[in-house]
């Protein structure tokens, strides 16, 4: 059921693909779904909460409540392998792994060696046009080989 609840900002991915579902707790009288938003100010959080509740109620698994767990903070490493494939198929370059070693800061500028592969032709000859795409979690790129623009889901 939750695998069918799509992210409103990136509808190629479910809340499960994105790794937003942290836990499901059966309290006997109600199910509690614990979600971690991609960032604390995500404007889609309320819609996601409502969609999760609606999906479980439609499946006859109610009553349902949603709680938000913001620590540990969501990281793009929580996107499933299937989610990364779906991003690429939808024309968004998936994030690479966050470097090990504890806290990973949000990167607004590409570091040397952090080539972003074009999701259409797989070329690494790409350039960033803007640090932000349609949403704050994506950046806008262009492929220098096929000349197509695309968004890249930022690794955080």
Domain presence at residue 74: no
For residues 64 and 6, membership in a common domain is answered with yes
Within a domain: 75:
no
* Same domain as 53, residue 20: yes
Q: Is residue 14 part of a domain?
A: yes
Domain contains 85: no
Give the domain extent around 17: 2-68
pLDDT tens-place string over residues 118-149: 999 999 999 999 998 888 888 999 999 999 99
User: Residue 33's beta-bridge partner residues?
Assistant: 24, 66
Residue 109: pLDDT band with limits 50, 70, 90: very low
The closest alpha carbon to 76, from 55, 49, 99, belongs to: 99
Identify the band that residue 101 occupies on the pLDDT scale cut at 50, 70 and 90.
Answer: low
Question: Residue 17 maps to which CATH number?
Answer: 3.30.300.130
Check pLDDT > 70 for residue 65: yes
Residue 42 has pLDDT above 90, yes or no: no
- Sheet containing 64-68: which strands, arranged edge to edge? 21-26, 31-35, 64-68
Shared-domain flag, residues 19 and 63: yes
105 and 59 part of one domain: no
Asked if residue 137 and residue 103 are part of one domain, the reply reads: yes
- Whether pTM > 0.75 for this model: the answer is no
Q: How many domains does the chain have?
A: 2
**103, part of any domain:** yes
* Structural domain contains residue 108: yes
The verdict on residue 149 lying in a domain is: yes
pLDDT at 89 exceeding the cut of 80: yes
Residue 127 φ/ψ region, left for φ over 0, alpha for ψ in the -120 to 50 degree band, beta for the rest: beta
Residue 76 lies in a domain: no
């Amino acid at each position: 059921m939750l695998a069918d609840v799509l992210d409103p900002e990136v509808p190629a991915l479910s809340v499960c693909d994105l790794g937003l579902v942290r836990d499901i707790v059966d309290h006997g009288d109600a199910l509690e779904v614990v979600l971690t938003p991609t960032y604390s100010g995500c404007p889609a959080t309320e819609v996601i909460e409502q969609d999760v509740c609606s999906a479980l109620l439609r499946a006859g698994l109610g009553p349902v409540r949603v709680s938000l767990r913001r620590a540990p903070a969501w990281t793009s490493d929580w996107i499933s392998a299937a989610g990364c494939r779906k991003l690429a198929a939808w024309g968004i370059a998936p994030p690479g792994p966050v470097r090990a070693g504890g806290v990973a800061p949000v990167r607004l500028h590409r570091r040397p060696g952090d080539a972003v592969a074009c999701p259409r032709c797989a070329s690494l000859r790409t350039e960033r046009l803007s640090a932000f795409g349609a949403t704050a979690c994506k950046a806008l790129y262009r492929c220098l080989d096929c000349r197509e623009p695309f968004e890249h889901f930022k690794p955080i």
